[in-house]
Amino acid sequence: MQKYYGWGLPYNASAYGADVDRLIYLLHGFMILLFVGWLIFLVVALFKFRSRPGHQATYKPDHFKAPTYIEVGVALFEAFLLIGFSFPIAKHVRTLPPKGEALEVRVVAEQFAWNIHYPGPDGVFGKTDIQLMVPANPVGLDRNDPAAKDDITVINQLHVPVNKPVIVHLSSKDVIHSFFLPVMRVKQDVIPGQNVPVWFQAKDTGNFEIACAQLCGLGHYRMRGFLIVEQPEQFAAWQAKYAPKVPAPAPVQTPASPVTVAKE
Amino acid sequence: MSEKQHSHDLPFWRKYIFSLDHKVIGIQYGITGLLFLFFGFCLMMLMRWQLAYPGQPLPVIGNLFSERMMVGGIMLPEFYNQLGAMHGTIMVFLGVVPLAVGGFGNYLVPLQIGAPDMAFPKLNMMSYWVYFLGGVAMIASFFLPEGAAQSGWTSYPPLANIAASGQTVWLIGMVFLITSSLLGSINFIVTIVQLRAEGLSFFRLPFFVWAQFVTSFLLLLAFPPLEAAGVLQLMDRLAGTSFFMPSGLVVAGKALEVSGGGNPLLWQHLFWFLAHPEVYVLILPAMGIVAEVFATNTRKPIYGYKSMVCSVIFLGFMSFIVWAHHMFLTGMSAKMSSFFQITTMIISIPSVILLTALALSLWGGSIRFSTPMLFAIAFLPMFGIGGLTGLPLGLAASDIHLHDTYYVIGHFHYVVAPGTIFALFAGVYHWYPKVTGRKMSEILGKIHFFLSIVLINGVFMPMFILGLAGVSRRLYDQMQFAHAQPTQPLNVFMSVCAWLLGLAQIPFIINIFGSLIWGKKVDNNPWEATTLEWAAPSPPPHGNFDAVPEVYRGPYEYSVPGQKHDFWPQNMAKEN
């Protein structure tokens, strides 16, 4: 895993990650430019106007024009950053891909694990119920629900196919967590009582990391999962291996919306 | 003055403990604030051991801690989380704000406006003692069976709602601290509006007074929502309400017995509605101090006084509508995040104006590199780094990757530690002669400065690298994550710098006590400054001025052409 991570931004394995990275690099270039220019001014001023015999302060030096220009320049550049980068990128990241094209998966966070819930071949998430949440059934899946028969639930292992949009429906059983995929430039708070979707599209296969980015208790520092990006065939094979042994029933009419754990 | 005569008859406990004198209260605030800063720093030095050498026993002092903090010198995660939460709380609410507003504000505002005292001396005393109680509650919470609060200084529910009893004490402590700030802020506002000396119009006020004035409004208007939120969370914990608890929570495999129907995001809105203005509560008094120190030590008026005053007022207004940039990742819509991104970019403009005006104030000066001036100069680039690194966090797109990482920690520490705290050091060195009648040692001061500026950058600069690498904040052991492992050597470096930074404060501690004895005695105006506090004796007696001062000009009339001296005090009727 070491080859993905170092002292700078982690490896980018995400289709939209390059946009986020470009903005981060641009910003740092701009920040360094401003800071260095400004530091030079500071050093020159401190040297030139140091107190020494024979030197006197000027009561009202000439009015400076440059600061106004710099000020306006900074304001315009900030507007450019907003309109040219941040708004469109944020919008792109927030806009979910069409449901038919994407793999949908639920991630139910708890202290201190990521429960992953796939809808299975029928593409419909089975009903869940907090009464059914026991260690063997961490998402509380109701196996009597026809839509649940082919659902797959695993812990801390998010398998996804490469080059296909993935929509992750995030919810939490207990406290606030934050779903962080460093290599995908994905980070989304997981708020109990809410179902927040987030999406990404992997452009590379590999074994990556899921981290919790929001303090969630004693085990926050070890709330770690794995993101495994595979070729579609491998992903299909993995799904087949983990599929429940009961044959899937005929497609059902239940609404496609995933049920949050937080529903009464 | 009869008031002055009267003060001599007061018994010790009325004169120095339950005092009504703004100067004594200011010193009480100042000393308590400095002690809390030191205590908060010690908590951080302990955390830095665990961060540098995760899971290794703390040498020498490790065995002094109880079993529920460290086992065989190895820090437990619950204790680490307590240290983190309490470090933040103590530094912000018990250290910097009391020192900057309670200490410097109380001592200097009445002096700088030529008033004999604050408008409401008893309220002032109450404000200090309520703060003191809040501080005692916070410290005492470490001795609870389950220890102090451990859900971060932000105390996000549901985690904070289901946390151990330390959280209850934290909330009670916060209610005390907020009440204290509210009492203080109303007192400042009335004092500044009502008690200015004859001739001291608003645009003749020293910038420091303006900064305190705007700060007081921020405290007065932003703290009540957090006080309400604190009481709501207290009710959630004690009375079975569910303001912040949604239905259907399952904690550790068991359904939580709460009525439900609440929303954890409500807390975040209420919290950040205070905590963003709070940033300006931390930074504005610091800018005020820097402006005073600059004017005195450049021997010229500060550049663009009026634009600075307008900027600081505008900043105050804007600070109320940027809070949700702390919440970009809570699932807010693109429209909502656009609004808060725009306001965040707008608020950067007055900040840049303030910083630019301060930097331009150097141009044309005759700069004395005294210790207070060195700290004040250092404030500029340090606060500059803090401000600039706010940019990637204020844009929702780059915030995705950087949110809740060490980048955030680096960002706000640059604003508050080498920013605000350096300015506060500048203030201590600058006004120490006024408070004690003696100067602090320049040699010790310069040792303190140069060691601190190098080491503090060693502590915070690497945090940006960790943040870019995606290392999350509040991790007890970052070695658990593959993406965080490569930056672990930087943690060792930061920790060593932090411990040395602790040692670098020894010259300051020696200086502050030692100068009481061996410091050079000074007259009223050792720095040859212009503002009214320098017209009072050093130290000023009860009632402050020998004669009621009258003001004839603006605050920074230095090097006025045609004058014999290079400073022209505000209260001097004739030429100087």
pLDDT in tens, B340-357: 999 999 999 999 999 999
**Could you tell me if B11 lies within 8 Å of chain A, comparing CB atoms?**
no
**Could you tell me if B342 lies within 8 Å of chain A, comparing CB atoms?**
yes
**Could you tell me if B483 lies within 8 Å of chain A, comparing CB atoms?**
yes
**Could you tell me if B334 lies within 8 Å of chain A, comparing CB atoms?**
yes
- Give Cα separations from B390 to B341, B351, B423, B473, B560 (angstroms): 12, 12, 20, 16, 39
Q: How far is A214 from chain B (nearest CA, A)?
A: 7
Instruction: Kindly determine whether residue A82 and residue B480, on different chains, have CB atoms separated by under 8 Å.
Output: no
A20/A14 Cα distance (integer angstroms): 10
> What pLDDT digit, counting tens, does each position of A132-177 carry?
888 888 899 998 999 998 999 999 999 999 999 999 999 999 999 9
Q: How far is B156 from chain A (nearest CA, A)?
A: 8
C-alpha neighbours within 13 Å on the C-beta side of residue A223: 28
Residue count of chain A, please give it: 264
> What pLDDT digit, counting tens, does each position of A32-83 carry?
999 999 999 999 999 999 999 988 898 876 677 878 888 899 899 999 999 9
pLDDT band at B3 (very low <50, low <70, confident <90, very high): very low
- Do the bridges between strand A165-172 and strand A103-110 make them parallel or antiparallel, or are there none, so unpaired? parallel
What is the arithmetic mean of pLDDT over B408-435?
96
pLDDT band at B474 (very low <50, low <70, confident <90, very high): very high
pLDDT band at B502 (very low <50, low <70, confident <90, very high): very high
Instruction: Kindly determine whether residue A57 and residue B298, on different chains, have CB atoms separated by under 8 Å.
Output: yes
**CATH (domain of A155):** 2.60.40.420
Question: In this structure, are A65 and A20 located in the same domain?
Answer: yes
Element (H, E) at B236: helix B207-238
> Pick from B555, B558, B561, B505: which is nearest to B532 by CA?
B555
Residue A2 pLDDT: 61
Residue B10 pLDDT: 80
Q: How far is B182 from chain A (nearest CA, A)?
A: 30
**Cis peptide bond upstream of B539, omega within 30:** yes
For residue A40, give both structure tokens. 């030079």
Question: In this structure, are A117 and A191 located in the same domain?
Answer: yes
Provide the chain A residues 67-96 that lie in CB contact (below 8 A) with chain B.
67, 70-71, 74-75, 78-79, 81-82, 85-87, 89-91, 93-95
Provide the chain B residues 235-294 that lie in CB contact (below 8 A) with chain A.
246-253, 255-256, 260, 263-265
Instruction: Kindly determine whether residue A71 and residue B349, on different chains, have CB atoms separated by under 8 Å.
Output: yes
A181/A208 Cα distance (integer angstroms): 8
Residue B246 pLDDT: 94
The full DSSP string for B439-454 is PPPHHHHHHHHHHHHH
The reply to whether A258 falls in a domain is no
Indicate whether B147 pLDDT > 80.
Answer: yes
Question: In this structure, are A110 and A78 located in the same domain?
Answer: no
The reply to whether A46 falls in a domain is yes
CATH of B9-244+262-535, one of 3.90.550.10, 1.20.210.10, 3.30.530.20, 3.90.226.10: 1.20.210.10
Can you give the residue range of the structural domain that contains A44?
Answer: 2-94
SS3 B47: helix
The reply to whether A38 falls in a domain is yes
What is the arithmetic mean of pLDDT over B255-268?
92
Instruction: Kindly determine whether residue B246 and residue A192, on different chains, have CB atoms separated by under 8 Å.
Output: yes
Provide the chain B residues 30-89 that lie in CB contact (below 8 A) with chain A.
77-78, 81, 84
Which sequence spans correspond to the domains of chain B? 9-244+262-535
Tell me which chain B residue has its CA closest to the CA of residue A72.
Answer: B349
Residue A246 pLDDT: 56
Residue A255 pLDDT: 45
Question: In this structure, are A31 and A88 located in the same domain?
Answer: yes
Q: What is the phi/psi pair of residue A152, to 5°?
A: -115, 130
Is pTM beyond 0.90? Reply is yes
Taking CB atoms and an 8 Å cutoff, what residues of chain A touch B392?
23-24, 27-28
Nearest to A5 among B152, B377, B482 (CB): B482
The reply to whether A247 falls in a domain is no
**Could you tell me if B106 lies within 8 Å of chain A, comparing CB atoms?**
no
CB neighbour burial string for B216-255, b if at least 16 within 10 angstroms, e if fewer: bbbbbbbbebbbebbbbbbebbeeebbbbbbbbbbbeeee
Provide the chain A residues 95-134 that lie in CB contact (below 8 A) with chain B.
95, 110-111, 130-131, 133-134
**How many other C-beta atoms are found inside a 10 Å radius of the C-beta of residue A32?**
11
Residue A64 pLDDT: 78
Question: In this structure, are A120 and A177 located in the same domain?
Answer: yes
The full DSSP string for B353-409 is HHHHHHHHTTTT--B---HHHHHHHHHHHHHHHHHHTHHHHHSHHHHHHHTTBHHHH
> What pLDDT digit, counting tens, does each position of B34-62 carry?
999 999 999 999 999 999 999 999 999 99
Instruction: Kindly determine whether residue B152 and residue A261, on different chains, have CB atoms separated by under 8 Å.
Output: no
Taking CB atoms and an 8 Å cutoff, what residues of chain A touch B465?
7-8
Question: In this structure, are A226 and A198 located in the same domain?
Answer: yes
Instruction: Kindly determine whether residue A221 and residue B77, on different chains, have CB atoms separated by under 8 Å.
Output: yes
User: Domain total for chain A?
Assistant: 2
For residue B134, give both structure tokens. 């809040």
For residue A46, give both structure tokens. 């401190």
- What integer best gives the mean pLDDT of chain A? 89
Nearest to B381 among A39, A55, A212 (CB): A39
Element (H, E) at B102: none
> What pLDDT digit, counting tens, does each position of B201-252 carry?
999 999 999 999 999 999 999 999 999 999 999 999 999 999 999 998 999 8
pLDDT band at B132 (very low <50, low <70, confident <90, very high): very high
B429/B435 Cα distance (integer angstroms): 10
What is the arithmetic mean of pLDDT over B283-290?
97
Question: In this structure, are A163 and A69 located in the same domain?
Answer: no
Instruction: Kindly determine whether residue A193 and residue B248, on different chains, have CB atoms separated by under 8 Å.
Output: yes
Question: In this structure, are A39 and A60 located in the same domain?
Answer: yes
Instruction: Kindly determine whether residue A9 and residue B333, on different chains, have CB atoms separated by under 8 Å.
Output: no
Question: In this structure, are A167 and A83 located in the same domain?
Answer: no
Indicate whether A215 pLDDT > 80.
Answer: yes
pLDDT band at B303 (very low <50, low <70, confident <90, very high): very high
Give yes or no for a contact between A35 and B388, defined as CB atoms under 8 angstroms apart: yes
Provide the chain A residues 205-234 that lie in CB contact (below 8 A) with chain B.
209, 211-222, 224
Q: What ipTM, to 2 d.p.?
A: 0.92
What is the arithmetic mean of pLDDT over A75-104?
93
Question: In this structure, are A106 and A226 located in the same domain?
Answer: yes
What is the arithmetic mean of pLDDT over A216-228?
96
Give yes or no for a contact between B215 and B103, defined as CB atoms under 8 angstroms apart: no
Question: In this structure, are A169 and A237 located in the same domain?
Answer: yes
Question: In this structure, are A89 and A105 located in the same domain?
Answer: no
**Could you tell me if B487 lies within 8 Å of chain A, comparing CB atoms?**
yes
The reply to whether A181 falls in a domain is yes
> What pLDDT digit, counting tens, does each position of B519-528 carry?
999 999 999 9
Instruction: Kindly determine whether residue B260 and residue A8, on different chains, have CB atoms separated by under 8 Å.
Output: no
